[in-house]
Structure 1
Amino acid sequence: MDQDSAKQTKTRGSPALSGGHESCNTPVQEVTVGKRKSRTDDEGANREKKRRLDIKDTELEVCQEVTVAEFEAKYQQQYMLGAGGCGSVFAGFRRKDYHPVAIKHIPKDQVYCKHQDDTGREISIEVAVMMRLQEEKSGSVGASAPISLLDWYDLGQELILVLERPVPAVDLYEYILANKGPLPEEEAKIILRQLVKAAVHLQDNEIFHRDIKVENILIETGSDVPRVRLIDFGLSCFTKQETLKGVFYGTRWHAPPEWRRSRQYSAGPTTVWQMGVVLFQTLHPGEPFKTSSFLKNLLPISETLSEKCQDFMRVCLTQDPKERPSLKQIRLHPWLN
């Protein structure tokens, strides 16, 4: 999904995020193994139709309508950027200064993971994670790899997130397609170096993205060096890197071997596996990566790559999670340095 993100809060104030626990109510064995793209601009902009809220309480209905009006007064929604298992994303802009934004609509029944803050209120984990990241940012919007949350609205039947939208930018999936072949190894190294740094940053904040893949990595293309931005935290959670998880959230094709064997996985080793998957797809475009195919040696690592690059990929894709290096260890790998 070609999504973007942004900074700040919602109309009712920010929950305290220092504590709380993850509450994932709906198991999702696979949320988007690919992408569903929207129509192109030439086919016309996809404008959202106003949604009628089926609410019996009159006072609540008035409150919801005021919130919708507040959103529409502040932002102009334009064409669809993409859609997937966790909602639809539209391009847009902030009316007061024409600042580009991405507007993500998430039906409440597609808010798979929630977080309970210190007040006991349940909010979307995507909002909670992005607000925690925003709290610890020292710079302005766009200063770190994760896309920033600018605003959010709980409309009862759906959640609307207003996110930073870097321009120009394209997701890594499209970036690779535009290259019409594997990226040059040196360019892949630039991307992976930034991606590993971003993953370490999330780990330091006890955040597990759970679905890092080429479709969820945005590449800013406005300079000579591509810049990595991480998007779509809808399946993420707060966790210690070694805590075992018993329900898999993310892209089934990319599930680590330990999930296939024991139906358990943890944040640190899984994220390292995902670094290997992203690098593999960056340098071996064409057939989609599937863990099952890789384990059967049906997806060999290209011998045309440098020895250091091949070694980096192999260690990330080590089958045994206990033998797989940590994020901080792969950050020191000779190929990246």
Structure 2
Amino acid sequence: MESVHEPCEYTNNTAENHAHQLDETPAPGETDGGRKKAGREEKKKCFWRWPFGLDETDGGRKETGIEEKKKCFWRWPALALRFPCRRTAKRNLVKAEKKRKRVAGTSRRHDKGTVPFITKNHSYILRCYKIGPKLGKGGFGLVYAGTRRKDGLKVAVKFSLKPPNMPYITVPGHPKRLPLEIGLTLTANKCPRSPQIIKLLDWQEYTDHYIMVMERPLPCMDLLSFMELHGGTLNEDTARHVMRQVIRAANVCCENGVYHRDIKPENLLVNQDTMEVKLIHFGCGALMKESAFKFFCGTREYIPPEFKLTGKYHAKPMTVWSLGILLFEMVCGDFPTAKDLYMTAANIWTKPGLSQECCKLICDCLQPMPKKRLTLEKMHLHDWFKVMDEIMERTSENDTCHGHP
């Protein structure tokens, strides 16, 4: 259930005091987030990631200590599409268990020394929030656990350095243009909002960095760590429950004029007790537009084939492609190989242990031609989700038969 908290009384620079309506300002120039270059030392995984720059990592899924091999491609007949061939990832359950114990708000250790960025210029932040242990870090940012002093609300406090030429957007009701991540998070949460989207509670901007204060659900971990704790894959029922929520979040983002552009396990938080999912990290996103995007900012493994072929892609078809990759990861434990993509394009992909409806949904999402993909608006109506609806109906009927209201 969603909990609503009042903003800190010391400032009017909060999410609740802004009219969350998308203006007519054109989308800022998208930056090519890229990924790490070949041969560069792999960085440590973390679920809070800095969105900008050419050093964006791929989620730490390559096996450490092994030199990256040159990609191999299958050539798609007639269209000459190219699909990357990936190695099978190894998942260390011991490390995953340690990571689970370091989940936000549980037993993460305090780092020695002072908190970076915190100075006398941050008197407002220190007055309103108590800064706790570090939750994660990226190339240009750090995330700390925090507590709102006014009411004890648990929050996540993100400190982010501003990269050169950082894009800004205009949010109606705010007198100044805001950093992209702040503006998109606010806009994604305007009405109608979804509890599956992380809520921005407060923020402060400075000359060379900005600070975001967000809700911190407890307990929670990123979806990739959750998958590792379950042997690297999720059963269909769990994957279906997660996918339904992610699709809802993606649809609400688009309805509110926000294109997330980096939906992946690392950017999804899962509450292990309630199985509620929240979409985080809008730093790679952009404002929705009817025309095609010509730059890609996100994760390499989620690049749609039309961008590799033409250098262009549209927001919703690309989102469907990324959701197909996400579902494949959840039920198979890794990215699809070139052979997998060849078979999904031909609608003949199957996997032992998976239902026919699940395999069909993956094929419908991973079509190389955008016009042949399932539409984002109709994803929740797929036959695969009807199984859950039928189970819920039978449960409701059984409760009624036994005299339960």
Return the TM-score normalized by structure 1.
Answer: 0.81
| Amino acid corresponding to residue 197 of structure 1 in structure 2 | R
Rounded Cα–Cα distance in structure 2 between residues aligned with 1:248 and 1:7: 37
The separation in 1 between residues aligned to 2:247 and 2:258, in whole angstroms, is: 14
- Closer, same or farther in 2 for the Cα pair 1:147/1:292, shift >3 Å? same
Partner AA of 2:373 in structure 1: R
- State yes or no: 1:275 paired with 2:323: yes
Distance 1:214 1:86, change over 3 A: farther
| Residues 117 and 166 of structure 1, relative CA distance in 2, 3 Å threshold | closer
Task: Find the counterpart in structure 2 of residue 236 from structure 1.
Answer: 285
How far 1:93 moved relative to its partner?
A: 1.2
Letter of the structure 2 residue corresponding to residue 268 of structure 1: K
2:86 — aligned with what?
A: none
Q: Report the TM-score when normalising by structure 2.
A: 0.68
Q: Which moved more, 1:327-336 or 1:78-87?
A: 78-87
Q: Which has the higher strand share?
A: 1
Provide the secondary structure at the position in 2 that maps to 1:89: strand
CA distance in 1, matches of 2:203, 2:339: 40
SS at match of 1:244: coil
Query: Structure 1 residues 291 and 258 mapped into 2: Cα distance closer, same or farther (>3 Å)?
Result: farther
Pairing of 1:1-337 with structure 2 (within 5 A): 11-12=12-13, 14=18, 17-24=22-29, 26-30=31-35, 31-35=56-60, 40=102, 44-46=109-111, 48-51=114-117, 65-66=120-121, 68-85=122-139, 87-109=141-163, 112-117=166-171, 121-137=176-192, 144-223=195-274, 226-240=275-289, 242-285=290-333, 287=334, 289=335, 294-295=340-341, 301-337=350-386
Q: Tell me, in whole angstroms, the C-alpha distance in 2 between the residues paired with 1:43 and 1:333.
A: 40
Are the counterparts in 2 of residues 22 and 116 from structure 1 also a CA contact under 8 Å?
no
Q: CA deviation at 1:184?
A: 1.2
**How far has the Cα of 1:293 moved from its partner?**
7.0
Summarize the Cα distance change of 1:43–1:116 in structure 2 as closer, same or farther, 3 Å threshold. closer
Higher mean C-alpha displacement, 166-175 vs 16-25 = 16-25
Aligned equivalents of 1:229, 1:52: Cα separation in 2: 28
| Letter matched to residue 18 of structure 1 | D
CA distance in 2, matches of 1:296, 1:169: 36
Gapped regions of structure 2 (runs ≥ 5)? 36-55, 62-94, 387-405
**RMSD between aligned alpha carbons?**
3.1
Secondary structure of the 1:175 match is: helix
Structure 1 residues 50 and 256: CA distance shift in structure 2, 3 A: closer
CA distance in 2, matches of 1:199, 1:45: 34
SS in 1 for 2:28: strand
CA shift, 1:42, in A, is 6.8
> How far apart in 1 are the matches of 2:6 and 2:300?
30
| SS of residue matched to 2:261 | coil
- The number of residues matched between the two structures is 310
- CA 1:80–1:315: 2 relative to 1, 3 Å: same
CA distance in 1, matches of 2:260, 2:327: 17
In 2, the alpha carbon distance for the partners of 1:113 and 1:296 equals 37
Structure 1, residues 78-134: CA drift from partner, whole Å, max 9, x if none? 222222356222212112222111111110117844213468843112211222233
Q: CA deviation at 1:326?
A: 0.8
Question: Using the alignment, how far apart are the partners of 1:314 and 1:86 within structure 2?
Answer: 37
Larger radius of gyration: 2
Distance 1:273 1:7 in 2: 37
Q: Structure 1 residues 186 and 26 mapped into 2: Cα distance closer, same or farther (>3 Å)?
A: closer
Counterpart-to-counterpart distance in 2, 1:294 and 1:216: 24
Change in 2 beyond 3 A, CA 1:245/1:184: same
